[in-house]
Amino acid sequence: GEVLLEVNHLQTNFYTENGVVKAVNDVSFSIHKGQTVCIVGESGCGKSITALSLMQLIPENGKIDGGEVYFSGKNLLNLNKKDIRRLRGNDIGMIFQEPMTSLNPVFTIGEQMIEPLQEHLLLSKKDAYKKAMELITMMGIPNAEKIINQYPHELSGGMLQRIMIALAISCDPKLIIADEPTTALDVTIQAQILDILREIKKNLNTSILLITHDLGVVAEMADYVVVMYAGKVVEEGPVLELFSNPQHPYTKGLLKAKPVIGERKDRLYTIAGQVPNLVDLKESCYFADRCEYAMDHCRIKQPSFSTVSDEHHVACWLFEEGVTNG
């Protein structure tokens, strides 16, 4: 399919008292029309900052120091504040982990939905109200008339997340960026929210960039998976291929760490060791200290990408011919 979003060599740094934190370090990937791409990794691997960078929403001490982000042919990183804001409301919808932080507590759900609908779709107030009601109903909420007049604090977390999704799709976006949209919710509600996202993708052919640490969510949602570690992409590939034929030792570890229903907790596999300090990165594979396959070469030079199969790539010296231990 047609490429909708293309991220090339994105570099986002944070300037802290302790030095420069390379939070997103030369990250590239793309999303096709109608495709769901999951970025997966442990917390602190740079997946949220990647998503926020695309929308120029990184915190103040952060700076995008390199790369391009093409969306429908435009480099988003060159857009001014006004244009990127317009794009956020129109072509790209965003959903965050904590819906409460994105909603204004002093306005009703209706007030917060109707105004952007009027602004972006140039609807009359009456038509915007009608559309808001439709959207709320579409989210599987039966009593839209009641919800629309309520304030955010009167709604449950799952209900708020549905409202956030309704808001995100209200202007028919081409892309939805969802950062851990179900992490704060209990399992039943989580499944319902994922169903809603899948329906949206199917019915509206929306592309989705889904950020998650949860491989269960990846298995259910992704067409394509990007695995990040310490600010870098270490492996990427179609979901079935990646789950059945993982190559990077980190991806293998993540898949082993995936909890199995019914399995005793003390038998859960965790990847030993710590994520490296992103201030003090050496010219080495960043996973070397935790990798059971690490070779001398891994501590001297960073691995480049090798092709496993057509769309499946891995950054690991094990796949570079001629690199062996000793």
Among 21, 209, 210, 285, binds ligand SF4 (CB under 6 A): 285
Quick one: three-class SS letters along the chain?
CCEEEEEEEEEEEEEECCEEEEEEEEEEEEEECCCEEEEECCCCCCHHHHHHHHCCCCCCCEEEEEEEEEECCEEHHHCCHHHHHHHHHHCEEEECCCHHHHCCCCCCHHHHHHHHHHHHHCCCHHHHHHHHHHHHHHCCCCCHHHHCCCCHHHCCHHHHHHHHHHHHHCCCCCEEEEECCCCCCCHHHHHHHHHHHHHHHHHHCCEEEEEECCHHHHHHHCCEEEEEECCEEEEEEEHHHHHHCCCCHHHHHHHHHCCCCCCCHHHCCCCCCCCCCCCCCCCCCCCHHHCCCCCHHHHCCCCCEEEEECCEEEECHHHCCCCCCC
Site string for ligand SF4, 243-282 (x = CB under 6 A): -----xx---------------------------------
Cβ at position 275, least distance to ligand SF4 in Å: 14
Among 293, 300, 307, 324, binds ligand SF4 (CB under 6 A): 293
Given the complex with ligand SF4, which of 67 and 237 has the nearer CB atom?
237
Is the Cβ–Cβ distance between 4 and 33 less than 8 Å?
A: yes
Candidate ranges 45-53, 62-70, 300-308, 314-322; the one touching Mg ion (CB under 5 A): 45-53
Given the complex with ligand SF4, which of 135 and 291 has the nearer CB atom?
291
Residue 89 binds ligand SF4 (CB under 6 A): no
Among 144, 200, 209, 316, binds ligand SF4 (CB under 6 A): 316
Given the complex with Mg ion, which of 48 and 247 has the nearer CB atom?
48
Q: How far apart are CA 240 and CA 237, in angstroms?
A: 8
- Partner in contact with 317, chosen from Mg ion, ligand SF4, none, beta carbon below 5 to 8 Å by kind: ligand SF4
Residue 227 binds ligand SF4 (CB under 6 A): no
Residue 288 binds ligand SF4 (CB under 6 A): yes
Cβ at position 314, least distance to ligand SF4 in Å: 8
Q: How far apart are CA 275 and CA 179, in angstroms?
A: 21
Cβ at position 147, least distance to ligand SF4 in Å: 49
Residue 170 binds Mg ion (CB under 5 A): no
Given the complex with ligand SF4, which of 224 and 287 has the nearer CB atom?
287
Among 48, 53, 161, 251, binds Mg ion (CB under 5 A): 48
Among 294, 308, 312, 313, binds ligand SF4 (CB under 6 A): 294
Cβ at position 249, least distance to ligand SF4 in Å: 5
Is the Cβ–Cβ distance between 48 and 57 less than 8 Å?
A: no
Please give the residue ranges that form the binding site for ligand SF4 (CB under 6 A).
248-249, 285, 287-288, 291, 293-295, 298, 303, 316-318
Please give the residue ranges that form the binding site for Mg ion (CB under 5 A).
48
